[in-house]
Amino acid sequence: MIESPLSRRSLIRTGAGVAAGTLAASIMPSAIAATGAAPVPAARQRPAKPLVIGHRGASALRPEHTLASYAKAIADGADFIEPDLVATKDGVLIARHENNIADTTDVTDHPEFAARKTTKTIDGEQVTGWFTEDLTLAEIKTLRAKERLGPLRPESHGYDGRFQVVTFEEIADFVAAEAAARGRMIGVIPEIKHSTYFASIGLPLEQRFLDRVHASAYLRTAPLIVQSFEVSNLKWLRPRIGDLGNVQLMQLTVPGKVRPADLAAKGSGPTFDDLHTPAGLAEMATYADWISPYNLALIARDKDNRLAEKPSDLVANAHKAGLLVSTWTFRPENYFLPADMRSSGGDGARNPEGSIAEIRRYLALGLDAFFTDDPAIGRKAVDERA
Q: Could you tell me the pLDDT band of residue 34, with boundaries at 50, 70 and 90? A: very low
DSSP state, residue 28: S
In a domain, 158, yes or no: no
Q: What is the pLDDT of residue 368?
A: 98
Q: Where are the alpha helices (DSSP H) in the chain?
A: 8-13, 22-27, 67-75, 137-140, 154-157, 168-182, 195-200, 206-215, 232-237, 261-266, 272-275, 278-284, 314-320, 352-363, 375-383
Q: Collapse the DSSP code of 365 into the 3-class scheme (helix H, G, I; strand E, B; otherwise coil) and give the result.
A: coil
In a domain, 117, yes or no: no
Note down the domain range covering 69.
8-99+164-383
Q: What is the pLDDT of residue 44?
A: 85
Residues 169-183, mean pLDDT to the nearest whole number: 98
Q: Of 81, 78, 43, 51, whose CA–CA distance to 323 is shortest?
A: 43
In a domain, 234, yes or no: yes
In a domain, 113, yes or no: no
Q: What is the pLDDT of residue 43?
A: 63
Q: What is the pLDDT of residue 37?
A: 32
In a domain, 64, yes or no: yes
Q: Could you tell me the pLDDT band of residue 31, with boundaries at 50, 70 and 90? A: very low
In a domain, 296, yes or no: yes
Q: pLDDT tens-digit profile of 213-233?
A: 999 999 999 999 999 999 999
Q: How far apart are CA 378 and CA 332, in angstroms?
A: 10
Q: Are 19 and 77 in contact (CB under 8 A)?
A: no
In a domain, 131, yes or no: no
Q: pLDDT tens-digit profile of 263-297?
A: 999 999 999 999 999 999 999 999 999 999 999 99
The CATH number given to whatever domain includes residue 190 is 3.20.20.190
Number of domains composing the chain: 1
Q: pTM above 0.85?
A: yes
How much is the mean pLDDT over the chain? 91
In a domain, 150, yes or no: no
Q: pLDDT tens-digit profile of 60-85?
A: 999 999 999 999 999 999 999 999 99
Q: What is the pLDDT of residue 274?
A: 98
